[in-house]
Amino acid sequence: MIGAVDGRERLAGGLRTLAAAVRIPGRRRALLGYGLYTLALFVVCFLASFPYDLWLQRLLATATSGSPVRIETGGGALGWNLSYAIDSLRVRARADAERDPWLAAERIRITPSRFGLLSGNPYPVGIEATLYGGRLRGTIDPRPQRLRVDATLAGVDLGRYAGLRSWLEGALRGRLEATLALDGGGRGLPGASGGVEVRIAGLALEGAKVRGIVVPDLHFRDVRLDGTVKSGRFEIEEIAADGQEIGVHGAGNILLREPLGASPMSLDLTLTPAAEASDGLKLAINLLPGAKAEGGARRIMIVGTIDRPAAR
């Protein structure tokens, strides 16, 4: 009997010890829960009150220091999915702030990689924007060892674009579609390669002057440009513009430099007047530099730089 009583006492003591051990983790779990709640509340309040606008403006100012452009942004807000929305963005010439911006976009949304944030970087970053009645969508990873850009433009109304008004007067119409796929291949921008496609439907120039020189009214049903980028060189495989008054076909290349306007280029173009083209337009084509081609066409070379092109 004594042995049985001792056994029961040891069993009861063991149960009491086990119960005490179970109660301690419960208290710890409660404390841990309060701690996590406090931490989560702090993070939410920090994210809600962080001065993103000031941080973004300083970041853009640093990124564009020494460049010929400056970037202005409107107000922004952080979304629940960690995306950051900006009301507006303007890219202007630093030397002349009074001119129309080179690029104007609205309702821009920047979404960082959630998996990337776990390792301390936001890349690749997703971008969506509304501009000139169209839409931009894409992803970008600017890191030199992982450089990659995939972007699509759709439905951009060229009639609303004001960046050409400094040297182009008159009415410009057309709808722009474009795609860009660029991969650095682990070598950064100098070694990047990829494809470029540009389409413009219904391109028209009416009552136009280019740097004071009168340009006849031109209407194109479709304009196409296809090319590839490789090792800092943009190879234009085809330029084709089928117009009511004139047709343009050709190819060429551009050596990409910084700033972009200083990039040397060489374009081989053939301009062919349509059967219904006016005599004045045919005469103007014959007066262009270059060599005669079949059907009253003119073959010309465009050389120089993007900022300072010249025909020969």
In a domain, 86, yes or no: yes
Q: Collect all residues with Cβ–Cβ distance below 8 Å to 176 and sequence separation of at least 6.
A: 134, 153, 155, 156, 157, 158, 198, 199, 200
Higher pLDDT, 98 or 203: 203
Q: What is the pLDDT of residues 260-306, one digit of tens each?
A: 778 899 999 999 998 888 888 888 888 888 898 887 889 999 999 88
Residues 104 and 73 in one domain: yes
Pairwise CA distance, residues 210 & 292, whole Å: 24
Residue 1 is assigned to a structural domain of this protein? yes
pLDDT at 59 over 70: no
Q: How many domains does the chain have?
A: 2
Average pLDDT for residues 234-251, to the nearest whole number? 94
Co-location of 44 and 56 in the same domain: no
CA–CA separation, 267 and 300 (whole Å): 8
The domain boundary, picked from 77, 92, 111, lies at: 111
Same domain, 43 and 61: no
- What percent of the chain is modeled with pLDDT above 70? 75
Among 73, 89, 111, where does a domain finish?
Answer: 111
Please check whether residues 65 and 32 belong to one and the same domain. Answer: no
Least confident segment among 15-19, 56-60, 156-160: 15-19
Report yes or no on 140 lying in a domain. Answer: no
Picking from 226, 153, 151, the residue whose alpha carbon sits closest to that of residue 183 is 151
* pLDDT recorded at residue 151: 95
Find the domain containing 83 and state its range. 51-111
Residue 120 confidence (pLDDT) above 60: yes
Question: What are the backbone angles phi and psi of residue 115, rounded to the nearest 5°?
Answer: -70, -35
Q: Are residues 74 and 34 in the same domain?
A: no
Domain assignment present for 126:
no
In a domain, 76, yes or no: yes
Look up the pTM and report it.
0.75
pLDDT above 80: residue 239:
yes
Q: Do 36 and 78 lie in a common domain?
A: no
Q: What percent of the chain has pLDDT over 90?
A: 29
Q: Which tokens belong to 35? A: 């701690």
Question: Does residue 32 fall inside a structural domain?
Answer: yes
pLDDT tens figures, 168-225: 888 899 999 999 998 887 776 667 889 999 999 999 999 888 777 788 889 999 999 9
Which of these three, 9, 33, 49, is where a domain ends?
Answer: 49
Whether residues 23 and 38 fall in one domain? yes
Give a yes or no: residue 245 inside a domain.
no
What's the average model confidence in pLDDT over 88-109? Answer: 80
Residues 9 and 60 in one domain: no
Asked if the structure places residue 154 within a domain, the reply is no
